[in-house]
Amino acid sequence: MISLQQLLALLVIGFFIYRLFKQRNKKQVGGNEFVLWLSFWIVSALAILFLKKLDYLAASLGFSASGINILFYGAILILFYFIFKLRLRIAKLDRDLTDLTREVTLLKK
Amino acid sequence: MKISCVIPAYNESKNIIKVIDKVLPLVDEIIIIDDCSLDNTYELAKTMNVVALRHPINRGQGAALQTGDEYALSHGADIIVHFDGDDQFKAEEIKTLITPIINGEADAVFGSRFLGSANFPYIKRAIIMPLARLVNRFFGIKLSDPQSGFRALNRQTLEKIKIENRGMAHCSEILYKTYKTQARIVEVPITVTYHEFGQSFGGGFKIIKDLIIHNFIK
């Protein structure tokens, strides 16, 4: 039996999966990105469906926190990773922009 | 032997003519890179007997230096001097920097404010510089001035260096990359007159952050 909170969370995940497929149809996301996000949302949905099992898993791993807290910790870690990746991507674009600026400047001369 | 002086400039309309007048008799060519100034730095530079380049968008001092270096190398420079456009360095000390290279005693000469006389603001002398020196030690650099912008390099050395940090981290980057080329490095005393504070405390941390980030980019 799932709780109302779990149901709401599943609805939110369902909405994001629906949007992901829509973006895929409009070719707004690449193949790899689509698989990555779909896996992410499926794992999230499974984690919510088997929240009690997560409690056992957390306890067996020696964590005193409940399964839902472990999920939050994991989510924060993933967010940090994405922010770091994004920062690197921006830095790379920034470098490309500098190279382009230099080329335009030197071509004009 | 062709000596080119690369001078990046951003909003330096008050100083640029003065700096050009002082440097021009000492070198064969001056290359001014206006980094998309908001004032008329570029227009003023164009009226002088110098090569004036202008970035269409602001990219930072490191980026401007690299643009100037590429121009100098492609136009036959043998020695390239990096000089600031804010009139804080003494032009006559260019001779001190290039002499060891001309005499074949060095491939790169870095000016040091610690060997010379500089009226350092207290925070810069007591906190920022020791911290920057510590970071440089981490990269194996043992020079007395970790952030000097007054330097001269010969063609062979500069050809192996590409400045990738467009911000203030380029000073440490140039030091590090010069060390990696196995160039013969000499430090000479220089005089600096501070008109403004220059690098802030937060700016020092930004340099460290930029150096770390750029190590991760392919």
CA distance A90 to chain B (A): 10
Q: Where are the beta strands (DSSP E) in chain B?
A: 3-9, 29-34, 51-54, 79-82, 108-112, 151-154, 185-189
Out of A13-22, A63-72, B17-26, B162-171, least confident range: A63-72
Asked whether the beta carbons of B140 and B178 are under 8 A apart, the reply is no
Task: Collect all residues of chain A within an 8 Å Cβ-Cβ radius of residue B54.
Answer: 105, 108
Residues in chain A: 109
pLDDT at B205: 65
| Angle, helix B170-180 to helix B61-74, in steps of 10 degrees | 40
Higher-pLDDT residue of B153 and B142 is B153
The pTM of this model reads: 0.75
Contacts of B203 (CB under 8 A, 6+ apart): B168
Which pLDDT score is estimated for B206? Answer: 66
**Arithmetic mean of pLDDT, B189-200:** 71
Higher pLDDT, residue B210 or A11: A11
In 10 A of CB B51, how many CB atoms?
A: 19
Quote the DSSP letter at residue B92: G
Structural domain boundaries in chain A: 4-108
Mean pLDDT of B162-170: 89
What confidence score (pLDDT) does residue A1 get? Answer: 73
The pLDDT of residue B214 is 66
Which candidate from B53, B66, B213 shows the least CB-CB separation from A109?
Answer: B53
CA–CA min distance A83, chain B (Å)? 13
The proportion of chain A whose per-residue pLDDT surpasses 70, expressed as a percent, equals: 100
Tell me the average pLDDT across B55-68. 97
CB contact under 8 A, B216 and A88: yes
pLDDT > 90 in chain A, percent? 55
Domains by residue range for chain B, with CATH? 3-216 (3.90.550.10)
Mean pLDDT of all residues belonging to chain B: 88
Place of tokens 């400047």: A105
